[in-house]
Amino acid sequence: MKKILVLGAGLSTPSLINYLLQHAEEHNWQVKVGDYDVEIAHKRVKDHPRGEAFQFDVHNDEQRAKEIKGANIVISMLPARMHYLVAKTCLRYKRDMVTASYVSKEVNEFHNEAKDSGILLLNELGLDPGIDHMSAMQVIDRVKEQGGELFSFKSSTGGLVAPKYDNNPWNYKFTWNPRNVVLAGQGGAQFINHGMYKYIPYHKLFSRIQTISIDGYGEFEVYPNRDSLKYRGAYGLEDIPTMFRGTIRRPGYSRTWNYLVQLGVTDDSFVIENSENLTYRDFTNSFLKYNKVKTVEEKFAGYLGIDPESHDMYKLRWLGLFREEKTGLKQATPAQILQKILEAKWQLDPDDKDMIVMQHNFEYKQKDKFFRLISSMVAEGKNNVDTAMAITVGLPVAIGCKLILTGKIASTGVQIPTSKSIYDPILSELAKHQIVFKEEVKEIAGPNGD
């Protein structure tokens, strides 16, 4: 019997754990799920005869060593900062590891040691990063095999609420860690456009948007996401003139969110004194100039240059920024208070379904002609537990784990899923779960031409 150790049982794990348990009898697996909150682990395992839930503390060196040593493979769904501890212990006991997170600098330094030990540390196998890499590489490799030369690649992903359940003025609800949404973009972004390097600081990020459309779902906006440049080598596009990665939202989201950025309430670098006794109105007012005549709303609109009667102002009032209710949060940063405000308004309702949207835009030259290929994927969740986010993050991890255990993936070292031997079987199985890309190709006049 092979033992699969899953560390972390958060929002992105239901589909992952269900898949492993559904295939456990067939492959003779035992699936052990550990989380700091053991009740969440039990909730995921659901008394399955091939499953086991237990309380796990990644910082307990003795427990971490014992559990990893006793497993055949480790899936780390812990917060990204904790993967280093797991990877280090996996190296010690020569155990393969799979994660959905970005490769950290610390984990990347294990590459040579992992390769020498014959083990695989497979990272970025979720949605974004993950499905984005695999679906992009499938097209890139195909274009190259057919003699094409890529000169532009743009890729964007977003977790949104499905249209039927889109019933708030922001056209957005949380489908991922709320803290990550609040802090999104704070490292700025960089990409390359027509051979020119572009660097977008955080305070300008949400004003530098692009627009895309997806058949049947309408228009979306895209803001730049992190460092697009680092994937040129991984994708074999070292000399490409245009490469951009972005985050998808519905139109209008970025403009209104930018007002919160400019106000300063997304800042997580300092603690607000006496924060628990401030009302949300006091909190908002603390970022504005003193004026004994104007209301907080008037000062807010004037400071940020917002029309008081605009839809943007309505969306900000709707959040509850001006409520006379205490925050109740001690020693809180502005970002933590904003997160609490948003959590009261942006949670998925029990019957809600979320939606994942991903689109790649490739431009290439082939036989003296220019083409644009747009590849789009839309996936809707089943409910507010088996969300589209949980499905698209968890299933690639689960399938990758199966392929490693059955000897179908033989790579070693620190890897991401950009090789055909990894992406082909995973994308093929994801298609059976209705995670598919629709492609549209048309000839264009030239680079960025129509």
Mean pLDDT, range 216-241, rounded to an integer: 94
CATH 3.40.50.720 fits 2-122, yes or no: yes
Q: To the nearest whole number, what is the mean pLDDT of the chain? A: 95
Only one residue has tokens 């972004």, namely: 189
Contacts of 275 (CB under 8 A, 6+ apart): 283, 327, 329, 330, 331, 332, 337
The model carries a pTM of 0.92
Cis peptide before 129 (omega within 30 of 0): yes
Measured in degrees and rounded to the nearest 5, phi and psi for residue 333 equal: -85, 165
- Summarize the confidence of residues 384-409 as an average pLDDT: 95
Please, which pLDDT band fits residue 363 given cuts at 50, 70 and 90? very high
How many residues in the chain? 450
Please provide the DSSP assignment of 273-298 as one string. Answer: TTGGG-BHHHHHHTTS---SSS-HHH
Q: Is the pLDDT of residue 268 over 70?
A: yes
Contact yes or no for 341/320 (Cβ under 8 A): yes
- pLDDT for 447 equals 76
- pLDDT over threshold 80, residue 299: yes
pLDDT (tens digit, 9 = 90+) per residue, 334-360?
999 999 999 999 999 889 999 999 999
Whether pLDDT at 249 is above 70: yes
CA distance 37 to 29: 24
The answer to whether residue 218 scores a pLDDT higher than 70 is yes
Q: pLDDT class for 445, splitting at 50, 70, 90? A: confident
150: phi then psi, degrees, rounded to nearest 5: -75, 135
Region(s) of the chain under CATH 3.40.50.720: 2-122
Write the CB contacts of 346 (distance below 8 Å, at least 6 apart in sequence). Answer: 168, 170, 172, 173, 174, 178
Q: Report the distance separating Cα 348 and Cα 191, nearest Å.
A: 33
For residue 183, pLDDT over 70 is answered with yes
Q: What is the pLDDT of residues 271-289, one digit of tens each?
A: 999 999 999 999 999 999 9
Residue 450 has pLDDT above 70, yes or no: no
- The boundaries of every CATH 3.30.360.10 domain in the chain are 131-252+350-384+436-444
Cβ contacts of 419 within 8 Å, gap of 6 or more: 137, 411
Question: Cα–Cα distances in Å, from 311 out to 282, 317, 338, 376?
Answer: 23, 10, 20, 30
pLDDT band at 176, cuts 50/70/90?
confident
Q: CA 372 to CA 224: how far, in whole Å?
A: 21
Which tens digit of pLDDT belongs to each residue from 66-97? 999 999 999 999 998 999 999 999 999 999 99
Instruction: Indicate the pLDDT class of residue 329, thresholds 50, 70 and 90.
Output: very high
Percent of the chain with pLDDT over 90: 94
Q: Grade residue 175 by pLDDT with cuts at 50, 70 and 90.
A: confident
CA dihedral 10, 14, 17, 21 (to 10 degrees): 150
Grade residue 448 by pLDDT with cuts at 50, 70 and 90. low
- Rounded to 10 deg, the angle between the 253-263 and 296-304 helix axes is 110
Does residue 449 register a pLDDT over 90?
no
Q: Report the distance separating Cα 126 and Cα 103, nearest Å.
A: 12
96-141 pLDDT, tens digit each? 999 999 999 999 999 999 999 999 999 999 999 999 999 999 999 9
Q: What is the CATH number of domain 131-252+350-384+436-444?
A: 3.30.360.10
**Residue 396 to residue 413: CA distance in whole angstroms:** 19
